[in-house]
Amino acid sequence: MKKIFLFIAAVCALVACDPTHEDIGNAGHISLDELKAKTSVTVDKAADGQNGNVISCQTLAPVNAKWDIGGKEFISNYAKKKMKLGDYKVILTAICADGTELTAEYPVSCQTITDPLTKYWIYGEDPAVEAPFSPGAWDAAAMRFSSTEGAHFPTISDDVYFGLKTLIIDVSDASPDCKARIMNGWWSARYDDDQDVEVKSGLWEIQITEKMAKDCAKGNGGEGKDLDLMLTSGSCTINSVYYEE
């Protein structure tokens, strides 16, 4: 009797592991064509018919959706973002219920400003109060975003970190050999693929990632390590830091 029981159990286990017996149902997977049919990526229109600068994305497909809009990610079935003028490629990554991953791309052109971007200052709104400065090479305090341990920049708020904002640093007088490291104030992680980045005069944009937010934010599960931009060679002048929306 015991042998018969063990045989039945073994057969049941084999059937349970056999993928041909798995029924995921119709909702488990959709095709790329079905995803596209249930998805829209639009740009608002100006009075003269030109494409505006607000991109709206939505999918009604039964998937977990992640949008990449101009390098910024949104995990939601709906996303909306104000953009600068230019041509973009919106990328939708959709994960079906059975784990299948689909990718759809949508080219978008923003031709005129219909909704101006608002500038939110982190440093340098009033140069008389927060003056331009030239960080020294290997001075980890010079560009640490910390009101207590940084030399210039204030602590970045959790809303900025977890909002995954794009920081815009106004740089001038950058020498040809100017490079910087994007890390945290504890030197425990880098966010530049372990390669110092070139710093040029103009606007230096840094996209805050989920990893950066979890490491550097003070609350909401953040480890409070502070984002730190450290010059490793050359010289430059930092005029201001802000983000736009």
- Residue-wise pLDDT tens digits, 64-90: 999 999 888 899 999 999 999 999 999
Q: Classify strands 51-59 and 78-82 as parallel, antiparallel or unpaired.
A: antiparallel
C-alpha span between 132 and 35 (Å, rounded): 49
C-alpha span between 145 and 170 (Å, rounded): 15
The pLDDT value recorded for residue 72 is: 85
107 has which bridge partners?
A: 89
31 has which bridge partners?
A: none
The pLDDT value recorded for residue 91 is: 97
Model-level pTM?
Answer: 0.75
For residues 213-219, average pLDDT: 96
Name the nearest CA neighbour of 222 among 243, 208, 207.
208
Asked if pLDDT for residue 187 goes beyond 80, the answer is yes
What are the pLDDT digits (tens) for 120-144?
999 999 999 999 999 999 999 999 9
For residues 193-208, average pLDDT: 96
The pLDDT value recorded for residue 27 is: 57
Task: Give the HSE-up count for residue 92: Cα atoms under 13 Å, Cβ half-sphere.
Answer: 29
C-alpha span between 110 and 87 (Å, rounded): 6
The pLDDT value recorded for residue 17 is: 37
